[in-house]
Amino acid sequence: MMLKVNNSYNFLNGQITFLILLMFILSFSLVSAEGCAPEGFMGRFQEGLNITITETCPTCTFINISIKDPNSTLLFTNEPMTLANGIFTFDINATSLTSLGTYNIEGFSNLDLPVKACFIITNITTEITIPESLIYIILSFAAFFIFLLCLWGAVVVPFKNEKNEFARIIKIQRLKYLKVALIFLSYLFFVWFVNLMLTMSNNLIALTQYNGFFTMVFNFLIAFAWPMFVIMFLFMFLLGIRDLKLKDLLNRGIKPRE
């Protein structure tokens, strides 16, 4: 029996180590994510609207730029900006801005000065404030922590019925229903965590280029939420019927095998 407990804890430790490593890799990738300097940030724009980007260079006679979308697809190549009153502008039609996230700009001028800038396309009309950002970050950590707790419970809670030395059932394990419920709860809290990350990716520059990834993961998780609930409900229903039959056998003094 002690060997089984140790094996359970070894498995649990392995799971937690993997999750911590995954968080570290994600955090490192966010910190090292490619972006543009603050002075090169041209603004945040609402999805579905035509936009105009500007560049100031009093001594430049021309500036040509290339623009890549968040998926690194080249949208414009060596396009000239329009000069008027010492300010260069470039108009972009909303139909070209099909992806949410950070659009990177590179270019050059007659002064051989490299141009590096970016702008953000978001689907949220109101930008969250710093206090709201802190609340989202705290909620994200809380959601992920509760997800880990539920996952930990799902790992350590026993599922199999108790047996004697002859491998015959002597007691029905009722905690199996809690184990199944914890698996589903961990799924829900992970969905909540991804939803929070998706919201922040629309508002925080460091996460914007991950908007497509979080959107894909969130849509996938939502699509499988109801099927998982139905499967969990049917599974617990069939377990209940099976346990009732086993209980009837145990009440009659019969110790069945699984």
pLDDT in tens, 117-170: 888 887 765 556 667 777 888 888 999 999 999 999 888 888 888 887 777 877
Is residue 89 within 8 A of residue 79, CB to CB? The reply is no
pLDDT of residue 66: 92
Asked whether residue 7 carries a pLDDT value surpassing 50, the answer given is no
Q: How many CB atoms lie within 10 A of CB 21?
A: 10
pLDDT of residue 190: 92
DSSP characters over 173-202: -THHHHHHHHHHHHHHHHHHHHHHHHHHHT
pLDDT of residue 124: 62
Asked whether residue 96 carries a pLDDT value surpassing 80, the answer given is yes
pLDDT > 90 in the chain, percent:
15
DSSP designation for 249: H
Mean predicted confidence (pLDDT) in 222-234: 86
Mean predicted confidence (pLDDT) in 108-115: 80
Q: Which residues of the chain are in CATH 2.60.40.1930 domains?
A: 38-122
Mean pLDDT score of the chain, rounded to an integer?
Answer: 77
Q: Residue 158 is inside which H or E element, if any?
A: none
Output the six-digit token pair for 22: 């995954």
pLDDT of residue 205: 56
Q: Which range scores top for mean pLDDT: 63-67, 169-173, 206-210?
A: 63-67
pLDDT of residue 34: 41
pLDDT of residue 228: 84
Mean predicted confidence (pLDDT) in 87-111: 86
Superfamily of domain 38-122: Macroglobulin (MG2) domain (2.60.40.1930)
Q: What are the phi and psi torsion angles at 216 (to 5°)?
A: -60, -45
pLDDT of residue 217: 83
Mean predicted confidence (pLDDT) in 26-33: 40
Residue 208's pLDDT band (boundaries 50, 70, 90)? low
Side chain identity at 57, as an amino acid letter?
A: C
Q: Is the model more confident about 62 or about 17?
A: 62
pLDDT of residue 168: 80
pLDDT of residue 258: 65
CA distance between the termini of the chain:
19
Angle between helices 130-156 and 2-31 (to 10 degrees): 160
Asked whether residue 17 carries a pLDDT value surpassing 50, the answer given is no
DSSP designation for 156: H
pTM of the model: 0.54
Output the six-digit token pair for 105: 């700009």
Asked whether residue 225 carries a pLDDT value surpassing 90, the answer given is no
